[in-house]
Amino acid sequence: MTTANEKTGSPTAGAATEGATPATATPTTATPTSTAAPTTATAATAAPAASPTAAAGTGSGNGFVHEHTPRLDWARHAPEVYKAMVRLDAAARQGLDPVTYQLVLIRASQLNHCAFCLDIHSKDALAAGESAERIIQLSAWEESQHFYTEREVAALALTEAVTVLTEGFVPDDVYERAAQVYDERELSQLIAAITTINAWNRFGVSTRKVAGHYKAGDFK
């Protein structure tokens, strides 16, 4: 399960070692013999594609876009706020199913466009045994409800309603759907978890935390 500390880890925390972009293998033609027709030798197996963090900043026309620099290390400048967020995060997840909890974190992070949190929670979910298919389908969960349980669907609907408030309050039908499958204590914890990840997302997007360096379990 993800811990709160990972939210504000330094941009280079857990960064994989960067290497040069793999060279493309070039096919070679075998020299024909007097008894065999000319044949083309099979090229060596191509090296895997470079990761975004490995290719970033190379300046090559075929490389990835240069990685941006974070605006601010907010946790260092507001340590008491950060500590309070860590405590809130730990309290909010209490009693929640860890699988549903991770789905909520990922979906809220998608809605808030927080690449840093998406990187963390997607990797942690995969490491904990979640399927790539269910994570991929999260962005269209309303059309893919058969991938999820009733409780997960109710949690995802509530996550969207609490996260996107530009059209007004949380709809009664969304709340009632969640209330039918969660008791009041569970529902209170779920709302707390949704509220907390929204706060982490806003710290991430406003300070432009960098995604791509996290490895599952780096912050525990």
Complete DSSP assignment for 73-94: -HHHHSHHHHHHHHHHHHHHTT
- Which is more confidently placed, 203 or 59? 203
The pTM assigned to this predicted structure is 0.71
Is residue 150 situated within a structural domain?
yes
Q: Which two tokens stand for residue 13?
A: 């925390």
Is residue 52 situated within a structural domain?
no
Q: Which two tokens stand for residue 107?
A: 């979906």
Is a pLDDT exceeding 70 seen at residue 30?
no
pLDDT per position as a tens digit, 74-123: 999 999 999 999 999 999 999 999 999 999 999 999 999 999 899 999 99
Q: How far apart are CA 125 and CA 121, in angstroms?
A: 6
Contact predicate 97/151, CB 8 Å: yes
Is a pLDDT exceeding 80 seen at residue 12?
no
Is a pLDDT exceeding 60 seen at residue 140?
yes
Q: How far apart are CA 149 and CA 80, in angstroms?
A: 38
Is residue 8 situated within a structural domain?
no
pLDDT per position as a tens digit, 120-134: 999 999 999 999 999
Q: How many domains does the chain have?
A: 1
Identify the pLDDT of residue 61: 62
User: Tell me, what CATH number does 145's domain have?
Assistant: 1.20.1290.10
Q: How far apart are CA 81 and CA 87, in angstroms?
A: 10
Is residue 175 situated within a structural domain?
yes
Is residue 54 situated within a structural domain?
no
Is a pLDDT exceeding 60 seen at residue 9?
no
150 pLDDT tier (thresholds 50, 70, 90): very high
What is the domain extent for residue 124?
74-207
